[in-house]
Structure 1
Amino acid sequence: MIPLFKVPMSPGAPAAVGDVLASGQIGQGAKVEEFERKIAERIDNPYVATVNSATAALQLGVRLAASTLPELPDGVEGEVLSTPLTMEATNWAILANGLKIKWVDIDEATLNVDLDDLARKITPATRAIMIVHFAGYPVDLARLGEILDGAEAKFGFRPTVIEDSAHAWGASFQGKPIGSHGNITVFSFQAIKHLTSGDGGALVLPNEAQYKRAKLLRWFGIDREVKDRLRNPPDIAEFGYKFHMNDINASIGLANMEIIDDVLKKHRDNAAFYDAELAGFDGVELTERAEDRESSFWIYPMKVERRADFDRKLTDAGVMVSNVHQRNDIHTVVRKFDALLPGLDRVADRIACVPVGSWVSEEDRQHIVDTIKAGW
């Protein structure tokens, strides 16, 4: 079976982990700091705080975003605009902060949020806007900026954007890496991501003040940089969490930094092959490719007719296929936020993703294309 996901791991990772284990320092230490510096260099943004998961980063990001805006009048609940087409972690972070979810419809061409629908749904109660660069394909951040300009002119404040970039390590928009566009950005280093640290994530901030606050909140609100902290504990002004990364995970991430360019290149090469071979093929509709952005192609989504038959055909041919993420709005826990989402309704049952990663050989990808072209 050609897998949909496989862990990309540097040959140097075991030795790097062994060095950390032998050092006697396995918590948050020098390796975490080094990993943060390397991430900062790659995305051209110095304000990087690693954490133990992207889910933790999302929860911190929502808290930071919501607390920067004026307080709402009594009886008015804060809300976060978000996409239902994502991993549940994206939206459960909103619930964890005691905020309402306001669903935004899907752009059928990109599978990202429909920015026109998003613009219509911003209100004075909007505390943040959550976007997902689905499959690693960036949202149109320039158009989003224009929408925020309009909201600021209309309501007198600018909602903070949180870019869920769990799929989008290495992606770029208008020549700039995702993570450097002035928003709160979250990366995932979970096991099957392009860049893995075994598990972990990073919260990337737009300014120094939020960066310093994030570093406090990831470890109980305690300032770890205070000298003689154990003998003279500093005051805690704001409660935080146990969300920090450790040196074991950071050492894995650092080792995989050495192979990440090759990993990304193979994802993109395989995606380009599918683009060329499947363009215009009957029963398959590919997603958008715009010249002003570069996808990381963490997954390769397409929209297919009769998806159950498509899935069965590929599975029988030894190819793993999946929609990867089901729509979040169907869950009981968020039923009270139901909204009309006609774009999502039209595409949700048609999305299929085929293997595109660095483990997919030229023979594998040809087999996948031949199987699709044979019909289902």
Structure 2
Amino acid sequence: MDYKDYIPYGCQSIDEDDIVSVCSVLRSDWLTTGPKVSEFEQAIANYVGARYAVAVSSGTAALHCAMYALGIGPGDEVIMPPITFAATANCVCYMGGRPVFADVEPDTLLINPDDVEKQITPKTKAIIAVDYAGQPCDYDKLQVLAKKYGLALVADGCHALGAKYKGKKVGSLADLTVFSFHPVKHITTGEGGAIVTDNEELAERMRKFRNHGISLDAQQREKIGSWFYEIEELGYNYRITDIQCALGISQLKKLPVFLKRRREIARQYDLAFKDIKEIFPLTVKKNILHAYHLYVVRLNSKLAGMDRKDLFQKLRKKGIGVNVHYIPVHLHPFYRRKFGYGLGLCPVAEDAYEEILSLPIFPGMGDGDVERVVEAVKNSLSFKYKRRYYARANNNS
């Protein structure tokens, strides 16, 4: 598909199979807390290689459930990187805990395990590793740290469904792994999320938490013919509907095709920007299978003669929906005010923020869309590499 006027940085891919799947639920007896929820959970668990999956209403809800399951509370600290969406840190605040930020590696923008260890105190209860852009973190080092200090290891895999670390899928590398099914992610349920784990007790705590802390949900009560339930803990309404799960089941079947296309687009970008010193993609480490939720480049402002804001505005005027992921969390007003955080806390992340730009990448992009993005970037930087790019693309097709 070619986007003539505007190419967004991300977009869902919906086909007739998805529509049929959703319509079948609309004609059924269960619209929520029904059989499609457990079917979707089993499909996700099977895909990533985990024993249990708990589906919820959003990726943020999934993070909150994970913190609840681990018993995070007032006075507890949880270490995470600052280059992430704020929900990664917000979920700790919801529980009364304190987010602690460890800096990132300059080439990948993934959490730096060496800095993680520097941040560990007697109050530390968990580490949240963010698989930024779709690249898994260094789970070998993080697992060693978690075991050494008796910490829970949580993977924020919202960018990384389908990614692998040394042959193992994200979802099988941490005590708990969180996914998001927002429309720009690898598969979508409209809004939605899930947590996967091998720990039955944690899974059960999260199932109750998503449903007000109720001991038995509606489907369970229906099966045993009982009206009786109890509120065992204070929970939330984080339920996901059967309508959403029907879409998710259909989408998951197409995930291999979606991932293949994302990787193809990333290779095209890699080739196009290979010899341009003014702009360069993040490093992909060895033994990694990247999921490419985002394709992030860094701008060398001195060589380019412009800053990131200039390039952002030029590309937006050309109809290229670039974005920035993310403002470092510790620089948001709430975190400055609540915890006293500010500039200088994570210098690598802060420097990177001034340079990063996310280019469009999603399965519905055609080769013409990719070429349009590349040409817009080069023209914005005043480069004349059009013929060279086309020659390389043709030689590699």
Question: How is 1:145-160 mapped onto 2 (pairs within 5 angstroms)?
Answer: 145-151=143-149, 158-160=150-152
Deviations 1:132-169 (A, max 9, x none): 11111111101111222332xxxxxx111111111111
Partner of 1:261: 256
What secondary structure does 2:368 align onto?
A: helix
Q: Which moved more, 1:166-175 or 1:315-324?
A: 315-324
Corresponding residue to 2:180 among 176, 184, 188 = 188
What secondary structure does 1:61 align onto?
A: helix
Q: Which moved more, 1:9-18 or 1:290-299?
A: 9-18
Q: Does 1:201 align with 2:205?
A: no
Matched letter for residue 33 of structure 1:
S
What secondary structure does 2:357 align onto?
A: strand
Partner of 2:136: 138
Corresponding residue to 2:124 among 112, 123, 126 = 126
Q: Which moved more, 1:122-131 or 1:319-328?
A: 319-328
Partner of 2:333: 332
Partner of 1:275: 270
Instruction: Give the conservation status (yes or no) of the 8 Å contact 2:211–2:238.
Output: yes
Hey, what's the Cα distance between the residues in 2 that align with 1:331 and 1:295?
29
Partner of 2:102: 104
Hey, what's the Cα distance between the residues in 2 that align with 1:195 and 1:309?
32
Partner of 1:310: 311
What secondary structure does 2:298 align onto?
A: strand
Aligned-residue CA RMSD (Å):
1.9
1:364 CA displacement: 1.7
Structure 1 gap segments, 5+ residues each: 152-157
Structure 2 gap segments, 5+ residues each: 1-5, 302-306, 383-397
Q: Does 1:15 align with 2:20?
A: yes
1:230 CA displacement: 6.7
Hey, what's the Cα distance between the residues in 2 that align with 1:150 and 1:283?
42
Q: Does 1:244 align with 2:236?
A: no
Instruction: Give the conservation status (yes or no) of the 8 Å contact 1:102–1:337.
Output: no
1:326 CA displacement: 1.8
What secondary structure does 2:70 align onto?
A: helix
Partner of 1:170: 162
Instruction: Give the conservation status (yes or no) of the 8 Å contact 2:68–2:206.
Output: no
Instruction: Give the conservation status (yes or no) of the 8 Å contact 2:281–2:295.
Output: no
What secondary structure does 1:40 align onto?
A: helix
1:185 CA displacement: 0.6
TM-score (norm 1): 0.91
Hey, what's the Cα distance between the residues in 2 that align with 1:180 and 1:228?
32
Instruction: Give the conservation status (yes or no) of the 8 Å contact 1:8–1:194.
Output: no
Partner of 2:385: none
Aligned residues: 363
Deviations 1:2-47 (A, max 9, x none): 2212112132122222211111310111111111111111101121
Partner of 1:218: 210
Instruction: Give the conservation status (yes or no) of the 8 Å contact 2:209–2:234.
Output: yes
Matched letter for residue 296 of structure 1:
A
1:226 CA displacement: 5.8
Deviations 1:334-375 (A, max 9, x none): 112416211012111100011121122112212222333342
Percent identity among equivalent residues? 28
Instruction: Give the conservation status (yes or no) of the 8 Å contact 1:137–1:171.
Output: yes
Hey, what's the Cα distance between the residues in 2 that align with 1:337 and 1:24?
51
Question: How is 1:43-54 mapped onto 2 (pairs within 5 angstroms)?
Answer: 43-54=48-59
Instruction: Give the conservation status (yes or no) of the 8 Å contact 1:315–1:321.
Output: yes
Seen in structure 2, the aligned counterparts of structure 1 residues 310 and 238 have a Cα distance that, compared at 3 Å, is: same
Seen in structure 2, the aligned counterparts of structure 1 residues 365 and 332 have a Cα distance that, compared at 3 Å, is: same
